[in-house]
Amino acid sequence: MRAVLFDIDGTLVTTRGAGREAFAFAMRDGLGIELETAIAAIDRVDFRGGTDEVLLERVAAELGVSFPRFHEPVIEAYLQVLERTMTPDRVAALPGVHALVEHLETQDDMLVGLLTGNIREGARRKLQVVSLQRLIDRPGGFADDGRERAAIAHAALAKAIRHGVDPQRVVVIGDTQHDVSCARAIGAKAIAVTTGGTDRNVLEESGADLVLENLGDIGPILELVGQL
């Protein structure tokens, strides 16, 4: 078995700021922080490549507060806000996503899953808008599995191996240098796209095996995957 594991934000979907908005409301509803104060703090945080846990820590540091890992009131507020903000007018699949996922799913020896810094239920709320929620319940990695991307990657690989995947036949697709580094952490090939706003030079210098403008350029992707 082979595996292709996708990042979500900036790779599969764009949420047009709805995710950052959800973090702000989570701080308000879960911790009692003034919304404007929370928004100002969030605007100072780079969200690209971060896990939900790390991003919450960064925002909390900007606010001068602390709370336990995956503090239930904050997470519950975050998920409730995602439920109402992740709507078709805010969330869209990025170019080529559906065609690529559907093509990979036709391969009998292929596991198509996720390797994301989102918590599982947050990922579900984002992907159900673009009819990709089926990826959630397959072997993969989520912020629930670890604080850092490398830990999540190792958890995803362990699940994939239990599903019959050869650990030498894995590709990670993402939009930041952090996705590339977590691919390297598990010995996987890395494909990077610029749809998340990371400069192409940064992605190339990070050591990605393939850098593309978007996932609509399916030929080189299938060629690399076919070499596994």
CB 177 within 8 A of CB 49: yes
DSSP one-letter code for 154: H
Query: What is the pLDDT confidence band of residue 183, given thresholds at 50, 70 and 90?
Result: very high
Cβ 211 vs Cβ 189: under 8 Å:
no
pLDDT attached to residue 21? 87
Q: Tell me the mean pLDDT in the region 97-111.
A: 97
Number of residues assigned to the chain: 228
Hey, which bits of 13-169 come out as E strands?
A: 13-14, 92-93, 110-114
Q: Which two tokens stand for residue 194?
A: 């610029």
Report the pLDDT value the prediction gives residue 22, as an integer from 0 to 100.
Answer: 87
Is 90 exceeded by the pLDDT of residue 216?
yes
In this predicted model, what pLDDT tens digit does every residue of 17-50 receive, in sequence order?
888 888 888 889 888 889 999 899 888 988 877 8
C-alpha to C-alpha distance for 101 and 97, rounded to whole angstroms: 6
The whole-model pTM stands at 0.92
Q: What pLDDT shows up at residue 203?
A: 97
The average pLDDT across 89-93 equals 94
CA angle in degrees (0–180, nearest 5) for 223-138-176: 55
DSSP state of 35: H
pLDDT at 222: 96
Decide the pairing of beta strands 92-93 and 210-212. Answer: unpaired
Which pLDDT belongs to residue 127? 97
Cα separation, 9 vs 119, in Å, equals 12
What is residue 2's predicted lDDT score, i.e. its pLDDT? 97
What local confidence, expressed as pLDDT, does residue 20 receive?
85
Give the contacts of 154 (CB within 8 A, at least 6 positions apart).
Answer: 146, 185, 186
Answer yes or no: is pLDDT of 8 > 90. yes
Q: What CA–CA distance (Å, rounded) separates 193 from 13?
A: 12
Instruction: Identify the pLDDT of residue 11.
Output: 97
For 172, the token pair is: 């990670």
The pLDDT mean for the chain works out to: 93
User: What is the model's pLDDT at position 48?
Assistant: 78
pLDDT of residue 58: 86
Show the CA angle centred on residue 136, arms to residues 55 and 118, nearest 5°: 0
pLDDT range class, residue 112, cuts 50, 70, 90: very high
Closest CA to 87 of 26, 175, 137, 22: 22
- Three-state SS for 118? coil
In this predicted structure, what is the pLDDT of residue 49? 74
Looking at residue 61, its pLDDT comes to 86
Round to whole Å and give the CA distance between 101 and 113.
9
Average pLDDT, integer, range 143-150: 90
If you search the block for the tokens 């796209």, which residue do you land on?
193
Q: Specify the higher pLDDT residue, 43 or 202.
A: 202
51-60, 91-100, 106-115, 217-226, range with the lowest pLDDT: 51-60
Average of pLDDT values for 178-206? 96
Q: What is the pLDDT of residue 104?
A: 97
Residue 183 tokens, joined = 């691919």
Name the nearest CA neighbour of 50 among 196, 209, 204. Answer: 196
The secondary structure element, H or E, covering residue 59 is helix 52-63
Alpha carbon distance 107, 208 (integer Å): 24
